[in-house]
Structure 1
Amino acid sequence: MLRPTRTTVLLTAGLVSLLGLPATAAAAEPATHLYVDNTFTRCSDGGPGSDAQPFCTISAATRTVQPGQTVHITPGRAYNENVVVDRGGLPGKPITLVSELEDASKFKLAPGRTLTVSGASHVNISALDAPSGVRVTGSTDIGLRGLTVTNNPDSVTIDGGSSDVRLQHSRLKTSVRVEFARDVVLSRNEIQGYVHPAVVAWDATGLVVTNNTIRRDCEAGIKLSGGSNGAALFNNVVHTDFEAGCGDPGARYGIEVAQTATAGTRADYNLISGPFTADRIAYKWADAPYADQATFHAGTGQGAHDILTPTSKGVGAEDGSPTVDSADATAPGVLLTDHYGRETSDDPRVPNTGKDGGHLDRGAFELTDGLVGVRAELEPAWAPTGTTVKVKATADSRWLTGLTYAYDFGDGTAPLSTSAATAEHVYDKPCACTVKVTVSNKDRKQFATQVAAKVTANTPLTAAFTAQPVLPQANTPNALVPPLSVEADAQTSTLPWPVERVDVDFGDGAQESRSSLEPVRHTYKQPGTYKVTTTLKDVKGATSTTERNVEVAYTPAGYVAVHPARVLDTRTANAPVQGGTATPIAVPVHYYSSGPHHTAGASAAVLNVTVTGASEDTHLGVWPSGQARPATSNVNVKAGGTSSNTVTVPIGADGKISAQLNSGKAALIVDFVGYYQPNAGQRFAPIAPTRVVDTRTAGGALGGGQTRTVKVAGVNGIPADATAVALNLTGTGATENSHVIAYPYQDKRPATSNLNLEPGKDKSNQAIVPVGPNGTITLYTNSGSTHLVLDAVGYYGTSGTTLFTPVVPQRLADTRTTGKLAPGAATTVTGIPASALGAALNVTATDTTGPGFLTVYGHGGVRPDASSLQTRPGETVPNHVTTPVADGRVTVWNSYGGANHVITDLFGYFTQG
């Protein structure tokens, strides 16, 4: 039951005012409801007992309750008090104590605490758990419902001249003792006696014991003594086979009525279960024992319709029980709801042997049809208009008879009510309808279920499909979604009947089949335009085919910086790579507990690739696994030398990239520094190359084994919240062979490298370095000393403006076919998408006539005072270059050191995000 709110009380007061009654009259009326809640922090026994400030104890309420008031008691924590009700109500205005959540739980007294109703009248108490006992003494018109008493052998007592006391729907693991009382009714209770009779009466006139289930221990099930005349014992189930350490108490009886209690006492329609032995006897009446029903009825005139069973097994609210539909529905004290409050039911499978053909069950419990639910099936669940569909209902019921089914087909037609478990219907227009099936029994209990009906137009099958890229989602960034994945969805097709088969030809030699109409995913090895064909076959055998060209391309992505990690070093296995043979490299973007695995949803990887110990002058190319080797290069190395370069490369459908030497053999070292992924990472902001560190003018050369921390974010136009910075790292004046590492955390130097140096040579390499504490990065060289020059070319962060789109590596320009770039001259490189704001290039200088450098910048912009790569006579020098782009073009300027051939390869570009 729901607690009445304060709003209800205020509204009532408002209505009184509207009627023009004096305000004093409203104030004189006590509140209809009082509240008790010992779990409420603001409860008070000195307060009003209102919803806002309830009493803390039940006793506080019983001391103040007035006729007509209901005390709502919150269950939960046991009330540690002896409760006494000694105030009375009035006819039609009882005092009521009830659980606040009567239908869900009972309010409870602590062990050892009891409830006493003394000298009171017109009192109702419901849903109480009083483990240590209840006593009604000297009281009139008392209703006790839904009690639980468990502890003491004689803990329910009605005495002291009490009258008109009703104990109903209760579970009592104790004896019920009625002494010096009259007109007491015990009905629909489960009572289990122990060392005393389950129900014992002394001088209790007019006692009614009807429809109880009684389990007796060492004494009688029902025992009437003294002047307990005029009693009515009907429809009870008395089990005599319950025993727990009785010793040898002598003969025990199911029903025992003393000679002094027989006047006006009646007993019939009871069931007594055995086993019946010399000391377990069904009846004792007027002090004479009777072993069976026939003898009992012949000797006393009672029990004409009693049933005796040899055991309690199979007796009760279960199939085949003799209690079912065999009681007297006209007996005194009969309730038409059982122990659980369920209405009585007529089992259609058995004859009604109750009085006058009634169907009431004996005992506290009623066997119902067991209706607990219903299921429904629709055949066919998908069909065109004009098709007859059939719905079959399956009731979860014990009886499956006497049920009524209501079918609502969800299309606006009138529902159909029938006793049949099936129904047919014809839809006359398409719909996504919901068929609702409701089953009801004769007790008005109902359950409903529903099933979907898809009704389509009665037109031919016509295939159609949509195609869209499949991308990793921001809320599931680690889901495996390879780049160049496409989903073909044929749900836009015209489908009169369900589809039995869907065949998709993706146009690259791959095919997929499905047995239902669901999206089909496929990952292409390389971008391009593909003819995709979809064929449908429905359950009636009709087929339809459609095709269309689908553009497959890489998707703009954000950058995710990671702590640099080495993913390949062929020196450790003494297994150099061989010219002409591709080497697969797994890129561990996503980590599981068992170690690095696949690339999740990454579309491109950023690597530092080093080639060392080359057997001859050669170059290395890197490209996506599964694609043809492009005519591009990434690392150029001389025989016996070491060369490294940053590489940005798309990831193949298998989560790998490929690397191949043009000729000879060499050791290959690959360091993983970050990746690009759609719907993840940070955006990039390209900037004109800006010098952030030059140890030649500040700080001096970096010595071997030393570190130097420099600030790169929060200065030079790079915001403080940048997560990574793209830098062109140049080493000059190196005193010996060494390598340089740029990393974010000073105390966590990785076992990777960014730049390999040789004495007397200026060398450059671009690096994307995560930003460490306070916007800094740390520089380290392993041996000798060297000057370092750092030029920032962009940053990644929340204020970034562009996303990266990888491309299949492609050559944009090669001056070997047009003539060298003279000292002080510039060349324009085209072929970058017009929407690009930046590009990731690999720029190579070769056939150099003098030392110098190249500077790459956005076409039409002001040439910055910074270099993109250092040129050296007699050497081929590559470098990864991230640069702004204007109108799809960049400018490459040659310093005044000497003429160069310049080769420019494109690996991706940045567009507005």
Structure 2
Amino acid sequence: MRTPRTAVLLTAGLVTLLGLPAAAAATGTAAPATAVGPADLRVNNGPGGNCSDERAGRGISVPFCSITAAAMVVEPGGTVWIEQNTSYPDEVTIDRSGEPGKPITFAVRGSTFRSYLAKGLTVDGASHVVIRGLQVGGSTKVVRSGDIELDRLNTKGDADREGLVVGEGSTNVRATRSDLTGVRIDGGARGTVLGRNSVSGLINKTAVTVADAPGTAVTNNTFVTTCEAALAVGGASAGSSVHNNVFFTWDNPRCTSPAPRTGIQVAADAAAGVRADYNLITGPVVKMAPYTWAGTAYPTPAAFTAATGQGAHDLLAPNFEAVGPKDRSPTIDSGDPTAPGVLPTDYYGKPTADDPRVANTGKDGGYIDRGAYETQDVLSGVGLSVTPSWAPTGTKVKATAVPDSLWHSELTYHYDFGDGTDPVVTTKTTAEHVYAKPGDHMARVKAVNPAGASVYSSQIPVKATQAGVLTTDFTVDQPLPTEVDPGARPVSPLTVVVDPEQLTAAPWPVVRTWVEFGDGNATVTDGLHSLDNVYRTPGTYTVKVTLEDSKGAKSTATRTVKVGYAPSGYVATEPFRIKDSRTDGKPVTSARMLDVTLPAGHRVSDHPLSGSMASAVVNVTVTGATEDTHLTVWPSGQQRPATSNVNVRAGGTSSNTVTVPVGGGSLQAQLNSGKAELIIDFVGYYQPNAGDRFSPLAATRVLDTRTTGGALGGGKTRTVKVAGVNGIPADATAVALNLTGTGAKEQAHVIAYPDPAKRPATSNLNVEPGKDKSNQAIVPVGPNGTITLFTNTGSTHVILDAVGYYGKDGKALFTPVVPKRLADTRTTGKVAPGATTTVSGIPGNALGAVLNITATDTTAPGFLTAYAFGGTLPAASSLNTLPGRTVPNHVTTPVANGKVNIFNSYGGPNHVITDLLGYFTTG
């Protein structure tokens, strides 16, 4: 409810009468730092202030060091701006005067931090002075002065002296919106106002003492006191008033007096000239005497009014926890807006506010609150909607604000439609707008309550479109991972994102999106959104996108999309076992596909790796086969290819390195016939935007124990230098090696690993007596550019041929392919001893290739060597052939013009089968 207009006018008149500057009373904040007038001075003794009391003190660059120095020279109408959060050790005395309408002002720059005066503040013999924003360690005194305003001070005092003293004939001193500990007004001071202050009393001392101070107005203060009276008035204090205050009276074990605690105490010699009303007193009822008037204590406002005629509208609230600037407090809208000394703003500078939920019980229906604090409307938020949020230019859109306001008071809304036009300012919860130009705009609304508090809504996207018809268009992107963190969001290697949002012309909102990805998968979603699909295999697909808008219009577009694996770097890992059917009881058979989980992300305990690997490098061992057979390994989710990776005889053991694309986080394996135990060791992976590049080498012999060092003994290790020699740089991170075992004394396995102190429980090559066996290994480089070899039993000669290396200065990235057969001489005839067959079908820009080469129908021991087409035959081998045995090997070789040569040694004719697993390019 609203106060009558007459009360409002009377309040304004009293403020003017008391001489409060209107701007200061309305805002309670210092002027901006930039508002420095010609007579203004600066004080800053803080770090970097570059101050001096010898200079003029004008401007930021030449401030005074002390307030005293500035106080000696400031002119009427000038302001001494004191840097916030600075401290001054001297006692400050102000004895210089302003003029009517041109006061001298001392103010802290900004309102966040008060500046500190250690030894006190005295105004002596001055007039027309404003002091704002200081914290005073000692006492603040005003003596023999007139028209003095003290605003937003913090003055504590001590056990011997009050925080604020006004006396010695001072006139029209106003202490407002301050924290005051102990106040004394005496010595003939006239017209003093205490308004909207937080007042506390020292232990065993009266909080505010008024003695021989006529015309003192104590209005809208909040007292928190112990022991003695909150307010004591005595002597010749005629015309004084006590209105709209809240008195909290507490008890304290340190109180020396057993007497009840008193809110208002007026001595007999002052009682006739003092007026009191609209106060609220609260505290522990047992030890409280709310009033002591002319020597008589009164326990209730009713008794007090009946005896004195005062306090007719006073309240006694026993529950002091519910009193104050709180919702539903009895202080709300119950004061006297016409009381002497009333201010239009509260302790925080907030204006008088009318809670519409509370009856206005103040004088003449007024709604000022009692105490220093004015309870304000709590404006906690505002929501915004815009309809339609997507429409052609020229369409009228409507914004609706939904405020979250405790009082539901009338708010002012500033609607910003985000297109550069001026905000629409209105008290209505809706506003209309027409966008003139197409574009994506962010609309927002600010809600402001009558107290000046404001909140913003979230930004709401609004699309203004070009008028026309719905026309579908879209982009296709194959996103790549950007990091190898196992916790990063995984990106499958054949993921494709179809995005119609950027290219589609849609005058009206799109309500539905259909995407047919061309592989049998289709997705439909509400609205206009990008959609993704993970393809099972590389290939060329026709993608079809259909959109429908809010007006029922439909539009379709198609695009041919080529999906493939991206070039990748190699990330070497310490080898670890991910599958051993001898312990998990799940052998590999011809009857069904076996699914093996790859260590992508956190899938394999203790071995978290990137969830976005494109292809994995594993060493696959088949043992205990029930018959002669071969094993095929391929990505899960794809068709089983017509290739093989490991060939094994019944009862025998064979191993081979396999590079296989990652499909769905696992690989699949299946035997051609029979059953066998399967062992898989993980040795590394390829991923786009990660790892190292590869540089292929013509096969180069690194070690041959037949000529150097002797056979590798069972249980023994051999350290071999692989980096910094043979054209491999010292900073190589991994080396691709063809590992051959010959002259083995018994069945055993050989391990190649980086750190001699950490031998893994894996293997790279299984050797047998009387048979030469090969397998390629990619081994991380260990200390000082070395790797370590170990065989578990017997002894065997070991031959190492380097075929390439990985490092930061490597040349090429790897692109995996679905295993693809390039050549099979079983349809063209055997490769004769000493002859070379050329295999084509590798991309023409490839520098190297990863092949699975298989020798079969062999009649005599020998070897095959792969090398670049047109290159020189190296003195090394890629795999060793055995009579009557089918022998595969993982081979990495240089490539020229999309071709490789495969040389057959002079042992005997061989059929040669060549399968492509991937290739290296500089892209």
TM-score band, normalised by shorter chain? 0.7 to 0.9
Amino acid at match of 1:105: F
Q: What is the CA distance between 1:598 and its match in structure 2? A: 8.1
Alpha-carbon distance between aligned partners in 1 of 2:183 and 2:907, rounded to the nearest angstrom:
115
The 5 Å alignment of 1:160-239 reads 161=168, 163-164=170-171, 165-172=173-180, 174-180=181-187, 182-183=189-190, 184-193=192-201, 195-227=204-236, 229-239=237-247
- The answer for the alignment partner of 2:122 in structure 1 is 117
Q: Secondary structure at the match of 2:784?
A: helix
Deviation at 1:614, TM superposition (A): 2.6
After TM superposition, list the pairs within 5 Å mapping 1:828-907 onto structure 2.
Answer: 828-907=838-917
Aligned mate of 1:501, from 512, 516, 523: 512
Which of 476, 490, 510 is equivalent to 2:521?
Answer: 510
Aligned to 1:620, what secondary structure does the other structure show?
A: strand
The CA distance in 2 between the partners of 1:602 and 1:584, in whole Å, is 17
> Structure 1 residues 518, 2: CA separation in 2 closer, same or farther (over 3 Å shift)?
farther
Among 141, 146, 149, the alignment partner of 2:152 is: 146
Unpaired stretches in structure 2, ≥5 consecutive residues: 1-28
Of 881-890 and 266-275, the range deviating more from structure 2: 266-275
Task: Find the partner of 2:623 among 594, 612, 617.
Answer: 612
- The answer for the alignment partner of 1:753 in structure 2 is 763
Mark the CA change 1:789 to 1:202 in structure 2 (over 3 Å): closer, same or farther: same
Deviation at 1:850, TM superposition (A): 2.4
1:453 equivalent among 428, 448, 462:
462
Are residues 1:672 and 2:693 paired? no
Partner residue, 1:522: 533
Identify the residue that residue 793 of structure 2 maps to in structure 1.
783
**Contact 1:36–1:74 (8 Å) recurs in 2:** no
Q: Does 1:794 align with 2:800?
A: no
Q: Structure 2: which amino acid aligns with 1:175? A: G
- Whether the aligned pair in 2 keeps the contact of 1:724 and 1:795 (CA below 8 Å) is yes
The CA distance in 1 between the partners of 2:224 and 2:447, in whole Å, is: 37
Determine the C-alpha separation between the residues in 2 that align with 1:120 and 1:610: 103
What RMSD in Å do the two structures reach over aligned CA positions?
4.0
Classify 1:212/1:231 alpha carbon distance in 2 versus 1 (closer, same or farther; 3 Å): farther
Q: Is the 8 A contact 1:589 1:675 kept in 2?
A: no
Letter in 2 for 1:85: V
Look up the match of 2:412.
404
Measured in 2, the distance between the counterparts of 1:751 and 1:512 equals: 46
Establish whether residue 394 from structure 1 lines up as the match of residue 402 from structure 2: yes
Structure 1 residue 635 and structure 2 residue 640: aligned?
no
How far off is 1:727 after superposition? 1.1
In 1, the alpha carbon distance for the partners of 2:670 and 2:831 equals 29
**Which is worse superposed, 828-837 or 245-254?**
245-254
Return the letter of the residue paired with 2:445.
V
Secondary structure in 2 matching 1:794: strand
| Maintained 8 Å contact 1:254/1:272 | no
For residues 84-105 of structure 1, give each alpha carbon's deviation from its aligned partner in whole angstroms, at most 9, with x where no partner exists: 33464443699877666x5223
CA shift in 2, pair 1:52/1:877, >3 Å: farther
The separation in 2 between residues aligned to 1:761 and 1:292, in whole angstroms, is 114
Query: 1 CA distance for matches of 2:856 and 2:820?
Result: 18
User: CA, structure 1 residues 87+618, in 2 after alignment: closer, same or farther (shift >3 Å)?
Assistant: same
Q: Give the alignment partner of residue 546 of structure 2, picking from 535, 557, 582.
A: 535
Q: Deviation of residue 399 (structure 1)?
A: 4.0
Shift of 1:418: 3.2
Distance 1:874 1:276 in 2: 107
* Change in CA separation of 1:814 and 1:647 when aligned onto 2, cut-off 3 Å: same
Q: CA deviation at 1:287?
A: 4.8
**CA distance in 1: counterparts of 2:271 and 2:35, whole angstroms:** 54
Distance 2:214 2:893 in 1: 107
Structure 2 CA distance for partners of 1:107 and 1:611, relative to 1, 3 Å: same
Deviation at 1:299, TM superposition (A): 7.2
Deviations 1:645-703 (A, max 9, x none): 11111122x21111222223322211110011112111111122222223333333322
* 1:182 alignment partner, SS class: coil
Distance in 1, Cα, partners of 2:500 & 2:566: 23
User: Equivalent residue of 2:625, what SS?
Assistant: coil
| Alignment correspondent of 1:367 | 375
Partner of 1:651: 662
Contact kept in structure 1, 2:703 and 2:800, CA below 8 Å: yes
Q: Give distance in 2, aligned partners of 1:225 and 1:114.
A: 30
Please list, as runs of the form range in 1=range in 2, the aligned pairs for 1:407-806 lying within 5 A after superposition.
407-411=415-419, 415-427=423-435, 430-442=438-450, 446-449=454-457, 450-474=459-483, 478-491=488-501, 492-573=503-584, 576-591=587-602, 595-596=606-607, 600-652=611-663, 654-806=664-816
Aligned to 1:25: none
1:815 matched to 2:825? The reply is yes
Query: Cα deviation per residue 1:504-529 (whole Å; 9 max; x = unaligned)?
Result: 33333333332332222221222223
CA contact (8 A) 1:850 1:897 kept: yes
Q: Deviations over 1:130-181 (max 9, x none)?
A: 6x76342756466543344669676424166373544321234x43233435
Q: Counterpart of 1:572 in 2: which secondary structure? A: helix
TM-score (norm 2): 0.84
SS in 1 for 2:599: coil
Amino acid at match of 1:611: V
1:382 is the counterpart of 2:393 = no
Instruction: Give the match's secondary structure for 2:826.
Output: helix
CA apart distance, 1:268: 5.1
In structure 2, C-alpha distance between the alignment counterparts of 1:480 and 1:465, rounded to whole Å = 24
Q: Are the structure 2 counterparts of residues 290 and 616 from structure 1 closer, same or farther at C-alpha, using a change threshold of 3 Å? A: closer
Maintained 8 Å contact 1:138/1:159: yes
Deviation at 1:211, TM superposition (A): 2.2
Which sits farther off after the overlay, 133-142 or 643-652? Answer: 133-142
Aligned twin of 1:256? 265
Distance 1:405 1:832, change over 3 A: same
What is the rounded CA distance, in whole Å, between the counterparts of 2:604 and 2:60 in structure 1?
54
Conservation of the 8 A alpha-carbon contact between 1:393 and 1:421:
yes
Equivalent position of 2:3 in the other structure: none
In structure 2, distance between residues paired with 1:4 and 1:774: 67
**Deviation of the 1:356 alpha carbon:** 7.7
Q: 1:65 to 1:794 in 2, by over 3 A?
A: farther
Contact 1:221 1:238 in 2 (8 A): no
The one-letter amino acid paired with 1:180 is: G
Query: What SS class does the counterpart of residue 658 from structure 1 fall into?
Result: strand
Cα shift readout 1:253-295 (whole Å, capped 9, x = no counterpart): 54333233357x4525532346898986665555566777788
SS at match of 1:816: helix
Q: Which amino acid aligns with 2:152?
A: G
The SS at the match of 1:742 is strand
- Measure the CA separation in 2 of the matches of 1:429 and 1:118: 63
Could you tell me how far apart the structure 1 residues matched to 2:525 and 2:853 are?
Answer: 47
Partner of 1:24: none
Distance in 2 (CA, whole Å) between partners of 1:701 and 1:2 is 91
Deviations along 1:193-235, whole A, 9 cap, x unmatched?
46443321223344332221234544444211123x2443253
Q: Please identify, of 407-416 and 431-440, the stretch whose mean Cα deviation from structure 2 is larger.
A: 407-416
Q: Distance in 2 between matches of 1:843 and 1:321?
A: 90
Give the counterpart letter for 1:259 in structure 2.
A
- Structure 1 residue runs of 5 or longer lacking an equivalent are 17-28
Give the superposition deviation at 1:375: 2.8
For normalisation by structure 1, the TM-score amounts to: 0.85
Q: Please state whether the residue corresponding to 1:365 is helix, strand or coil.
A: coil
Flag the 1:129–1:898 CA change in 2: closer, same or farther, 3 A. same
